[in-house]
Homo-oligomer: A and B are copies of this chain.
Amino acid sequence: MQAPELVDRMIQEDRRAVARAISLVENAAPQLREIMAGLAPHTGRARIVGLTGSPGVGKSTSTNALVKALRARGESVAVLAVDPSSPFTGGALLGDRVRMQEHATDNGVFIRSMASRGHLGGLSWATPHALRVLDAAGFDVILVETVGVGQAEVDIARHADTTVVLCAPGMGDSVQAAKAGVLEIADIFVVNKADREGARVTVRELRQMVGQVERAPEEWKPPIVSTVAAKGEGVEELLERLDQHHAHLTDSGELNRRRIARAREEIEAIVMSVLRERLGDIHGHAGLDKLADAVATGHGDPYTAADTLLSALDR
């Protein structure tokens, strides 16, 4: 399928075309440039919600509950599960297909995993591109779920309008983890599995943490929502909070600021990958191997070697 046809089909809500476009993103296909140009006029409408939290807090159960609640309101939903630790691509995973089965006849739901780590270590534009595809395809809401822990949890905030951080009671380290970097990115906290022992303690701890941050009266204060996602409990409240946060983002002008910052990162990521390619092209001329040999044996230092390479790039 040529790029213009693919774009046309996507706009006309052909979900297979959407899946195909995301595979092209995963594979860093050369057609991406044309596709992204074709999609541009159709973007900027979807609300992007990021969901993050340690393994075991019930991330995919919560995502599924949100999908149902959003569908009940008549909104179309795409779920993108991003796995930044995987260098392997290969389209929809088994898990996706299982999750999709429930919505098999519903064109308003789309679920897809994506490897965002290419063989060169990190396609930094992959997630933004995939979100761009889903946005242009007309989904009202896009839920981005991280797979993996650590940096991946924090990075999600760079891609979303609203970031939801999930915790669960009895996971002593979930609040600890929240302290170490996740606090800064949370727009909404969810204490899932709230029917379990210790849920109230977790809520209280989170409330204290949130309370300790100084903020101006007009600033958003992350609410804490208790849910039992497996039973659908608390999901309506979560949805309300999401709406409130979206309204806050729009009214305060923050939505625009976040989206421009994201576009800036996306452009820079493309520029850096072009430069990386150019560097690859001049390896032969500049004799990078010879330089690396000298550095490895102590006959040169990496900065002087980098200078040599850079002057070859400038020529």
Interface, chain A (partner B; CB < 8 A): 32-33, 36-37, 39-44, 84-85, 87, 117, 125, 128, 132, 148-152, 154, 181, 256, 259-264, 266-268, 270-272, 274-276, 279, 288-289, 291-293, 295-306, 309-310, 313
Known A-B contacts A150-B149, A152-B150; A289 and B260 likewise in contact (beta carbons under 8 Å): yes
A152 contact set on B, CB distance < 8 A: 150
A305 contact set on B, CB distance < 8 A: 263, 267, 270
Within the complex, the shortest CB–CB distance from A225 to chain B, in Å, comes to 27
Decide: B288 and A264 in contact? CB cutoff 8 A: yes
Decide: A291 and B279 in contact? CB cutoff 8 A: no
Decide: B295 and A266 in contact? CB cutoff 8 A: yes
Decide: B272 and A268 in contact? CB cutoff 8 A: no
Question: Taking each of A260, A303, A313, which has the highest tally of chain B beta carbons within 10 Å of its own beta carbon?
Answer: A303
A-B contact pairs, 11 of them (CB 8 A): A40-B295, A41-B298, A85-B181, A125-B302, A260-B293, A262-B296, A264-B288, A267-B292, A267-B305, A267-B306, A268-B279
Within the complex, the shortest CB–CB distance from A194 to chain B, in Å, comes to 27
Decide: B150 and A302 in contact? CB cutoff 8 A: no
**Which of B39, B44, B302 is A270 in contact with, Cβ under 8 Å?**
B302
Q: How far is it, in angstroms, between the C-alpha of A262 and the C-alpha of B292 when the chains are bound?
A: 8
**Which of B32, B268, B279 is A271 in contact with, Cβ under 8 Å?**
B279
Decide: A261 and B40 in contact? CB cutoff 8 A: no
Nearest 7 Cβ contacts at the A-B interface: A264-B292, A263-B295, A270-B306, A263-B292, A40-B301, A263-B296, A85-B150
Q: How far is it, in angstroms, between the C-alpha of A300 and the C-alpha of B40 when the chains are bound?
A: 6
**Which of B117, B271, B296 is A44 in contact with, Cβ under 8 Å?**
B296
A154 contact set on B, CB distance < 8 A: 85
Decide: A302 and B263 in contact? CB cutoff 8 A: yes
Closest to A309 in B: B271
For the complex with contacts A148-B151, A268-B279, 7 further pairs of A-B residues with Cβ separation under 8 Å are A40-B301, A132-B302, A150-B152, A264-B288, A266-B302, A271-B306, A275-B313
A274 contact set on B, CB distance < 8 A: 306, 310
